[in-house]
Amino acid sequence: MEFIALIGLPLVGALILAVIGENRRAPEINVAFSLTTFLAACALTARVIAEGNLLLIHKQIFIDAFNVFLVTLTAFVGLTTSLFSRPYMRVESEHRRIRPAQLRLYHSMYQLFMATMLIALTSNNMGLMWVAMEAATLSTVLLVTLYRTPASLEAGWKYFVLCGVGIAQALFGTILLYFAAEKILGAEGVSALLWTDLNSVKTQLEPAVLGLAFVFLLVGYGTKVGLAPLHNWLPDAHAEGPTPISAVLSGLLLNVALYAVIRCKVLVEGSLQSDLPGRMLMGFGLLSVVLAALFLWRQKDIKRLFAYSSIEHMGIMTFAFGMGGQVANFAALLHMTVHSLTKSAIFFAVGHAAQKAGSQLMDDIRGLITLSPTVGWGLLLGTVAILGIPPFGVFASEFLILTTAMREQPWATPILLFALGIAFAAIFGRVQPMVFGETTAKRLPHPPALIPVFTHLALVLMLGVFIPPSLAEWYRTAAQLIGGQ
């Protein structure tokens, strides 16, 4: 029941908004659907906590500690982003950057995008998960090109083609997985693609085939995670689309893609009986961290700056999942949570800041603290949090990852520290004058929505100081599920 509501509400929302999207109240309807979806996610979580893992609809849906926390996170950030997008999109339409018809597309696709991500997270069928991941790309392509500027069209095309090709690799990987599984589970029904069934026979799966499958799956879903060297689409798509979309792409879609990679890794590791998948994840992760940190220095556009920072953080998580083991997995899950909360909060603040300045170029954004203290503080605190300064949650997770790396993979620690240092200098050096510099810009017609920004930051702060025992327990169970080492 909770599950039907979870998937059904955004789908119905997409339909309704597609019909009445030009209505003046469309943003509020969007918020209402996001809110009810979030409530459904909470109900589902309560049920999983009470009853343990759930298998629904002929075993097509599987919910355990690992994905239910991502479901809640996704629904929560979906809700806050819809709150943020209400005044943001109003200002955009008053600035004549978008027409009412485009606003209808925007609201409808926003709900559809949420639905596809929730399906991808909860699907037990590896094939359906693929379908939902592709649908998530398709529902956002037209949102990236919403402004119809040459740059946004280019970004959309890049996004479509790169992720399309990437996801085709993942389909090949899924076919190989099915090929290996069908020998053991039989071709009757769809059992051979169900993750739970695959997981129970993973030690019998043919290692040679699964190894090959993992390469394709990692490259395929890795493209969507934004792992270097397949990250080219990410900064463009984040920078050129409307800011609420940047926030959900960065805070949610990347997580969902990483989730898919980890699900595959669990199977492949069980079959290979070696740490090869983990090593591959560590390699891609480190490469992304280092490349992103170096590229941060060359950015002039504020949204591109934080898009590269997302690549860096996805790299850190991938690296931690690659190390495997209880502590590293725990840290990676925590990092997933705090990164998506912090990064979306930053994008909210950045969105308002860019609207005030009328430009996304960092040189044009100045003096936020005098112009609009709340936006300025939001951006500053968000930046401080994402850079891993205590007492914010990012510090806790990065600290755990670094200390585990020192123990397990000492060679990687200096590389990580070096990259984190470079990123720190690059981002802080840019944000400081934006917040404190001199300015002449004037106020916005609609008051910015800052509740989402500060709610997110407060949560991140809380996670840095104190993780509620129930949540910690939840992370621990999930970390155990992922295993590794």
Partner 1 sequence: MSLPLDLQILNSLAALLLLVSFAMLSQRRIVTLVNLLAFQGALLCAATLLLAWRTGANHLYVSAGLTLALKVIVLPWLLHRLIRRLDVYWDTEPLLNVAGTMLIGLLIVVFSFGLAQPISELASTATRSSIGIAVAVVLLAFFTMITRRKATSQVVGFLSMENGLFFGAMSATYGMPMIVEFGVALDVLVAMLVLGVFFFQIREQFDSLDLQHLEALKEDR
Q: Among 2, 92, 134, 398, which residue interacts with partner 1 (rule: CB under 8 A)?
A: 134
Nearer to partner 1, 39 or 171 (CB): 171
* Contact status, residue 338 vs residue 397, Cβ threshold 8 Å: yes
Asked if 186 touches partner 1 (CB under 8 A), the answer is: no
Residues 19-58 that bind partner 1 (CB under 8 A): none
Under rule CB under 8 A, how many of the chain's residues touch partner 1? 50
Q: Is 172 in the site for partner 1 (CB under 8 A)?
A: yes
Under rule CB under 8 A, residue 206 binds partner 1:
yes
Residue 195 beta carbon to partner 1: minimum distance, rounded to whole angstroms: 13
**How many whole angstroms separate alpha carbon 272 and alpha carbon 210?**
8
Q: Name which of 350 and 380 has its Cβ closer to partner 1.
A: 350
Provide the token pair at 465.
């100081």
Asked if residue 168 binds partner 1 (CB under 8 A), the reply is yes
Q: Binding to partner 1 (CB under 8 A): which residues in 232-291?
A: 236, 240
210 makes contact with partner 1 (CB under 8 A): no
Which residue, 358 or 445, is less far from partner 1 as judged by CB? 358
Q: Which is nearer to partner 1, 168 or 406 (CB)?
A: 168
Q: Which stretch binds partner 1 (CB under 8 A): 9-17, 169-177, 344-352, 439-447?
A: 169-177
100-122 and 65-94 helices, crossing angle to 10°: 170
| In the complex, minimum distance from the CB of residue 177 to partner 1, in angstroms, rounded to a whole number | 10
User: Is residue 458 within the footprint of partner 1 (CB under 8 A)?
Assistant: no
Of 22 and 206, nearer to partner 1 (C-beta) is: 206
**Nearest distance, CB of residue 184 and partner 1, angstroms:** 12
Q: Applying CB under 8 A, which part among 4-12, 125-133, 272-280, 430-438 lies near partner 1?
A: 125-133
Residue among 143 and 350 whose Cβ is closer to partner 1: 143
Q: Is 138 in the site for partner 1 (CB under 8 A)?
A: yes
**Which is closer to partner 1, CB of 175 or CB of 415?**
175
Among 192, 256, 257, 401, binds partner 1 (CB under 8 A): 192
Q: Is 5 exposed, middle or buried (0-12, 13-18, 19+ CB in 10 A)?
A: middle
Residue number, 232 or 477, with CB nearest to partner 1: 232
Least Å distance, CB 187 to partner 1, is: 7
Dihedral (C-alpha) 231, 269, 472, 409: value to the nearest 10 degrees? -70
Comparing CA positions, the residue from 453, 225, 255, 264 lying closest to residue 336 is 255
Smallest gap from residue 81 Cβ to partner 1 (A): 22
Alpha-carbon span 126 to 244, nearest angstrom:
29
- Please select the residue that binds partner 1; options are 12, 18, 39, 175, rule is CB under 8 A: 175
158 binds partner 1 (CB under 8 A): yes
Closer CB to partner 1, 42 or 138, in the complex: 138
Interface ranges with partner 1 (CB under 8 A): 125, 127-128, 130-131, 134-135, 138, 141-142, 145, 148-151, 153-158, 160-161, 164-165, 168, 171-172, 174-176, 178-179, 182-183, 187, 189-190, 192-193, 206, 208-209, 212, 236, 240, 295, 298, 300-301
